[in-house]
Amino acid sequence: MPKLMILTACERVIIDKVASLPSLINICQKMNVQLQDAPLAENAVAPIRWAVFTLWAHTQDEVGKEFTQRTEILSPSGNRFGEGTAKFMITETNDLQSKHHLDILGLPIESEGFVTVRVWLEGIPDSATEYKFAVKHLPKKS
């Protein structure tokens, strides 16, 4: 079974075109949201770009097999905010590693709490894991 080595949310993922190496920019641990005069809408979303990055390690026995990664994002209030799917084939040329990133526009900010990113491989229940980062509301500046 593939082993998840890295799961994180970050501001941006840059993949080097020559070496195919990833760079993760500003890993999300806490997102501070500056409040304004108006109250937040029930499903408020901030216009922030961010990404989810995963790196899976494989064994030689998995070469030639196809897997499907599922990603689900939950808002601080527990509502489903988004989801994504990535199919991938294990080959000799990928150094027995698979990396994926899901670019997201919008950050759920309707309440303080944790954004939860859940990732798993379809058909492999033991592969499920999650990453959380905090959303904190800052009071309006006077």
- In order of their start, the domains of the chain are 3-137 (2.60.40.1930)
| Structural contact between residues 51 and 14, judged by C-beta atoms closer than 8 angstroms | no
The predicted structure's pLDDT at residue 115: 98
Residue 121: both structure tokens together: 């491989």
Counting every residue written for the chain, the total comes to: 142
The predicted structure's pLDDT at residue 38: 75
Consecutive 10-residue averages of pLDDT for the chain (142 residues): 95 92 96 84 92 95 94 96 94 83 95 97 95 93 74
The predicted structure's pLDDT at residue 55: 96
User: What's the pLDDT tens digit per position in 78-89?
Assistant: 999 999 999 998
Q: What is the 3-state secondary structure (H, E, C) of 20-41?
A: CCEEEEEECCEEEEECCCCCCC
The predicted structure's pLDDT at residue 92: 74
